[in-house]
Amino acid sequence: MFEGLSVAMVTPFRGGAIDRDATARLVEWMIDGGVQGLVVSGSTGEAATCSAEERRTLLAFVKERVKGRVWIVAGTGTNNTAESITLTRMAEEVGVDGAMVVTPYYNKPTPKGQAAHFRAVATSTKLPLILYNVPGRTGTNTTPDVLAMVQDLPNVKAVKEASGSLDQISQVKTKTTLTLLSGDDGLTLPVIAVGGEGIISVAGQVVPREMRALTDAARAGKVAEARAIHQKLQPVFKALFVESNPGPVKFLLSEMGICANELRLPLVPVEPASEKLILDAARATGVVLTGTASRA
């Protein structure tokens, strides 16, 4: 479940509020490009600075726009188990297809605590869950042994693995039966090579067709074709993380005419030097640019 190309989408803002028009443009752009699923209100969506009501509004709006064409997963994990349960139940009420639950950040729970957190959220809902390991953001690594503790739960279906360790990622496939999804665009090909079934992508919202082609080729065992696409996209993969995500991708989406380059504090727009690097990478990859910075 949740195989293929999905995108951790940004939350477009304008004037401090969610920009519904830009959200609609982004959704249509991604679906037209072949994206198979959308993850809404994750870390790329600046969920940490969105209220629960904003999350509900955004989920309902995206669900209405999508009309069943792709699956929708809500990011509902926090470092507070009770709040994570509340957000997951809210997502279930809205009627999305699943929830993504990140390892609790800042608290630094032990493996036993992580497993208890995931179990509490899973047993509170009927939604299928993707567990999300991203130690670079959370400060805590969720190991394959922890995943093995909770894979018996019927609605724990997949893991988004962003540890950056291919050794650890490989062990997920030997120690669990969960659907393995890459959490790093640049590792899409190697993760699929060791048994992964897809990617939850950031780059997929600026180069959706190319990311779909990469994912499909890799899953079909067309290694040379997948490698060629991977190499072509490498500049964009790197540029989108030259500063804290989602700063770079929001800047690039603004230069593509899709949404405003607006973030919520404590995030701020990328620096001019980063803008140049991002634009150079986009041009090298064939991204069509229409913004003022790209014409400077």
CATH of 4-222, picked from 3.20.20.70, 3.30.1360.20, 2.40.430.10, 3.40.50.300, is: 3.20.20.70
How many other β-carbons are positioned within 10 Å of the β-carbon of residue 152?
A: 10
Q: What is the pTM of this model?
A: 0.96
The 3-state secondary structure of 89-154, one letter per residue: HHHHHHCCCEEEEECCCCCCCCHHHHHHHHHHHHCCCCCCEEEEECHHHHCCCCCHHHHHHHCCCC
Give catalytic residue positions.
132, 160
Low-confidence ranges of the chain (pLDDT < 70): 293-296
**pLDDT of 295:** 60
* Cβ 172 vs Cβ 156: under 8 Å: no
**pLDDT of 291:** 75
**pLDDT of 293:** 67
**pLDDT tens readout for residues 241-252:** 999 999 999 999
